[in-house]
């Protein structure tokens, strides 16, 4: 009796497994046919179309980075001009600007381990704060270019401030005191009506 029960149970399980396998195959075949008709490009076609554009973009970006590191090495004497110091230092300044101080401090630890000067980060960040009004938060390129410019020359000043400082003050004569600005005269009030 037990044997018949086990055979019956095994037969039901085999039938269930076969039904499940067939239905899974039908479902997969239906999904692949639907995705082929949906008009979405196959993954290989999308990769082939974007690969040359991405390769050109990556090559241009790598060349720009290489040029920036070479420029920093020529302009900055000492360890602050080393590529690892330039890369980590600019990253720390950028993270500090974005108020991501935890990450900035972790990068600062790496910066110190490479023997890079901490004072250069302080000077570059001070320079960046002077240019704060000229940085567009929606365009990442303005922040990156300003961080690089401040890394190369931390003593740079915004053009508006330097233009105002370079204009000579108005000449004054010997003992003349500056005249106070004329205050606006009060508006005349209507004359009171004569009393009867």
20-31 residue pLDDT tens: 777 777 777 777
C-alpha 191: how far from chain center: 67
pLDDT of 125 reads 94
Token match 């320079």: residue? 127
* 90 vs 150: CA distance, rounded Å: 9
pLDDT band at 181 (very low <50, low <70, confident <90, very high): very low
* 127 vs 134: CA distance, rounded Å: 12
Radius of gyration of the chain (CA): 37
pLDDT of 10 reads 76
pLDDT of 22 reads 73
pLDDT band at 67 (very low <50, low <70, confident <90, very high): confident
Out of 2-11, 45-54, 65-74, 99-108, least confident range: 45-54
HSE toward the beta carbon, residue 114, CA cutoff 13 A: 19
Q: Comparing C-alpha atoms, which of 106, 96, 185, 176 is closest to residue 132? A: 96
pTM above 0.85, yes or no: no
pLDDT of 35 reads 58
- For residue 48 the two structure tokens come to 């082939």
pLDDT of 182 reads 47
């Amino acid at each position: 009796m037990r044997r018949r029960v086990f055979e019956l149970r095994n037969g039901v399980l085999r039938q269930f497994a076969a039904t499940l396998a067939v239905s899974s195959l039908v479902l997969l075949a239906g999904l692949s046919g639907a995705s082929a008709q949906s008009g979405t490009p196959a993954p290989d076609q999308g990769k082939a179309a974007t690969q040359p554009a991405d390769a050109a973009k990556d090559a241009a970006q790598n060349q720009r980075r290489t040029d920036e590191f070479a420029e920093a090495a020529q302009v900055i004497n000492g360890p602050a001009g080393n590529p690892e110091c330039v890369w980590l230092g600019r990253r720390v300044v950028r993270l500090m600007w974005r108020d991501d101080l935890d990450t900035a401090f972790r990068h600062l630890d790496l910066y110190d381990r490479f023997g890079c000067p901490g004072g250069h980060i302080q000077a570059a960040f001070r320079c960046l704060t002077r240019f704060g009004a000229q940085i567009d938060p929606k365009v990442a390129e303005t922040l990156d270019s300003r961080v690089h410019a401040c890394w190369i020359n931390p003593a740079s000043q915004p053009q508006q401030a330097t233009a105002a400082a370079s204009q000579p003050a108005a000449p004054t004569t010997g003992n003349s005191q500056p005249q106070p600005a004329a205050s606006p005269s009060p508006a005349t009030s209507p004359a009171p009506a004569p009393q009867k």
